[in-house]
A and B are shown apart, each in its own frame.
Chain A
Amino acid sequence: MSSDVHTHDPAHDHRHGHAHPPHAEAPERLSYYQVMEIAVRELLIAKSVFAAEDVRRAVEAMDARDPAQGARVVARAWTDPAFRARLLADGTAAVRELGYEMATFRLLVVENTAKLHNLIVCTLCSCYPRMLLGLPPDWYKSRAYRSRAVREPRAVLKEFGTVLGDDVELRVHDSTADMRYLVLPERPAGTEGWSEERLAALVGRDCMIGVTRCHV
């Protein structure tokens, strides 16, 4: 950011050679696709295809999901070997036991071991197991992550603090179509005898995408 001090209105024209810090309330120009989304939504409401209330409810349901749901799935798999086996064999059916529906998608759960590390990306857009993890983080949708996760995944992992030995196979999953992926991280050492709730509190979003390991 520029160091020169200015006393003028920050919501002005920006063509004067220095940057301003982002301002949450600054008026924004809508992008082409934002304008199109608004136009299509208003048209569908005007034609009674759905109501504004339906849109509000759908947004609320999406916002209500968060990584705690995925963490509950992971903690159950760590404590219940039969559930773990069902989860790896048919993720969609196994998470339904816990009340989670994958809608039209199928869930594939990929397990990290001492010899195999799994990493999830969607190079085409932002496919993500939203039913279990909520909305994806901004970096997951960034062009940098989407291209580098397939091209130089070990460098990307290192930036997240995850260093893999050469004896560990790194398997990148490009989520291009109808499957959705959840990484089952390795259970950390020193958690023997922990309750499912206590284990679930350890499991963060990033280790279920595969950019980190799960730590105590």
Chain B
Amino acid sequence: MSAVEPRFAPGARVRVRRADAPGHIRTPWYIRGQTGEIERLCGAFPNPEELAYNRPGLPAQPLYRVRFRQRELWPDYAGPAADTIEVEIYQHWLEPAR
């Protein structure tokens, strides 16, 4: 299976693209435009945005688990600063961040 090379290593800071693309998108709205940290690379998987239209989804996209701080997502978050959320995001939805 052909796959795109991974761009990000665990610990890297990334921002989720704030895009409004039509179709079968697996990037939740609440996380778009947010900055987090790569927790791990899960492997490469066929792109679901292509699979949904019965196309092969290749080359496969690296899929990451990205960790976000709850207080950064929701300014009024009622919980300790250590609380986090982890979301699976495909590489083409991520860009480097500082």
Q: Interface residues, chain A, CB within 8 Å of chain B?
A: 106, 123-124, 150-155, 166-167, 169-179
A123 and B30 contacting across the interface, CB-CB below 8 Å: yes
- In the complex, the chain B residue whose C-beta lies closest to that of A121 is B85
Q: Interface residues, chain B, CB within 8 Å of chain A?
A: 26-28, 30-31, 42-43, 45, 48, 63, 65, 70, 73-74, 77-80, 82-90
Q: Can you give 16 contacting A-B residue pairs, CB < 8 Å?
A: A123-B28, A151-B30, A152-B77, A155-B78, A169-B82, A170-B80, A171-B84, A172-B70, A172-B85, A173-B85, A174-B28, A174-B31, A176-B28, A177-B26, A179-B42, A179-B63
- In the complex, the chain B residue whose C-beta lies closest to that of A149 is B85
Q: Which of B31, B70, B88 contacts A177 (CB 8 A)?
A: B88
State the CA gap A171–B83 with chains docked (Å).
Answer: 6
- The 4 A-B pairs of least Cβ separation, nearest first, read A177-B88, A169-B82, A172-B85, A174-B87
Expressed in whole angstroms, the minimum distance between the Cβ of B96 and any Cβ of chain A is 21
State the CA gap A172–B67 with chains docked (Å).
Answer: 10
In the complex, what residues of B have CB within 8 A of residue A167's CB? Answer: 80
B88 and A169 contacting across the interface, CB-CB below 8 Å: no
B26 and A124 contacting across the interface, CB-CB below 8 Å: yes
B84 and A179 contacting across the interface, CB-CB below 8 Å: no
State the CA gap A154–B28 with chains docked (Å).
Answer: 21
A176 and B83 contacting across the interface, CB-CB below 8 Å: no
A106 and B42 contacting across the interface, CB-CB below 8 Å: yes
Expressed in whole angstroms, the minimum distance between the Cβ of B56 and any Cβ of chain A is 14
B87 and A176 contacting across the interface, CB-CB below 8 Å: yes
Instruction: Label chain A's interface by main secondary structure.
Output: mixed
A169 and B84 contacting across the interface, CB-CB below 8 Å: yes
In the complex, what residues of A have CB within 8 A of residue B87's CB? Answer: 174, 176
Most buried by A among B77, B88, B90: B88
State the CA gap A130–B83 with chains docked (Å).
Answer: 27
B86 and A173 contacting across the interface, CB-CB below 8 Å: yes
Expressed in whole angstroms, the minimum distance between the Cβ of A153 and any Cβ of chain B is 7
Expressed in whole angstroms, the minimum distance between the Cβ of A101 and any Cβ of chain B is 17
State the CA gap A23–B83 with chains docked (Å).
Answer: 43
State the CA gap A154–B76 with chains docked (Å).
Answer: 13
In the complex, what residues of A have CB within 8 A of residue B63's CB? Answer: 177-179
Q: Which of A124, A152, A166, A171 contacts B28 (CB 8 A)?
A: A124
A151 and B74 contacting across the interface, CB-CB below 8 Å: yes
In the complex, what residues of A have CB within 8 A of residue B90's CB? Answer: 177
In the complex, what residues of B have CB within 8 A of residue A151's CB? Answer: 30, 74
- In the complex, the chain B residue whose C-beta lies closest to that of A116 is B82
Q: List 16 extra interface pairs beyond A123-B30, A170-B84, CB under 8 A.
A: A106-B43, A152-B78, A153-B79, A154-B83, A155-B78, A166-B80, A169-B83, A170-B80, A172-B86, A174-B86, A176-B27, A177-B42, A177-B45, A177-B90, A178-B42, A179-B65
